[in-house]
Amino acid sequence: MLHSIFLAITLITCSLFAEGESPMQKTILITGSTDGIGLEAAKMLVSKGHHVLLHGRNPSKLEKTKRTLSAIPGRGKIETYVADLSKRADIEALAESVKVNHEKLDVLINNAGVLDSPDPTTPDGLDMRFAVNTVAPYLLTKRLLPLFGPSGRIINVSSASQASVQLEALAGKKKLSRNTAYGESKLALIMWSNHLAHSLKESGPVVISVNPGSLLGTKMVKEGFGIQGKDIRIGGTILTRLALEEEFVEATGMYYDNDKRRIGSPHPDALDAEKCKELTNTLDHLVS
Active site residues: 182, 186
Q: What share of the chain is helix, strand, coil (3-state, %, to 5)?
A: 50, 15, 35
Q: Which of 158, 179, 180 is nearest to 235 (CA)?
A: 158
Q: Which of 153, 247, 167 is nearest to 200 (CA)?
A: 153
Counting other chains too, the contacts that 241-244 makes at CB distance below 8 Å and 24 or more residues apart are: 242/153, 242/155, 242/208, 242/210, 243/26, 243/28, 243/41, 243/45, 243/107, 243/109, 243/153, 243/155, 244/26, 244/45, 244/48
Sign, CA dihedral 90-192-159-170, equals positive
User: Burial, 14: exposed, middle or buried (Cβ in 10 Å; 0-12, 13-18, 19+)?
Assistant: exposed
Distance of CA 86 to the CA centre of its chain: 15
Q: Are 16 and 23 in contact (CB under 8 A)?
A: yes
Three-state secondary structure call for residue 207: strand
Q: Packing angle between helix 59-70 and helix 36-47, nearest 10 degrees?
A: 30
